[in-house]
Amino acid sequence: MIRNATDLSPTEKAALETLLGRRVQDSEAVSVRTFEPAHVSPQHRQELVERLKEYFAEVDATRNPVAASAEEDAITEAMRSVRPTYRPHQ
């Protein structure tokens, strides 16, 4: 279902803004979709975690070293690109 923001009732718009964590602009369209998440057994989840840890260890072993502040800046920039109101933990 796709609806233009201007077609939403004030209650609908308020509910969406609460979910999104930001104001919905009148020029935007809103799409709502529901789905059932895939079931992943605890054992399979742990196997995936281990594979990710191995992958990131390989990536870390081949990257050029950078200052910790540069790492934090890159992470903050990436987070803000998808969540403009993101604030890093202090």
pLDDT digits (tens, 9 = 90+) for 50-68: 999 999 999 989 988 889 8
Alpha helices (H) along 25-67: 42-62
Residue 81, H or E segment: helix 68-82
Q: What is the mean pLDDT of residues 23-50?
A: 93
pTM for this predicted structure: 0.44
* Contacts of residue 37, Cβ cutoff 8 Å, sequence gap at least 6: none
Domain boundaries, the chain: 1-34
Instruction: Cite the beta strand spans of 1-90 per DSSP E.
Output: 2-4, 29-31
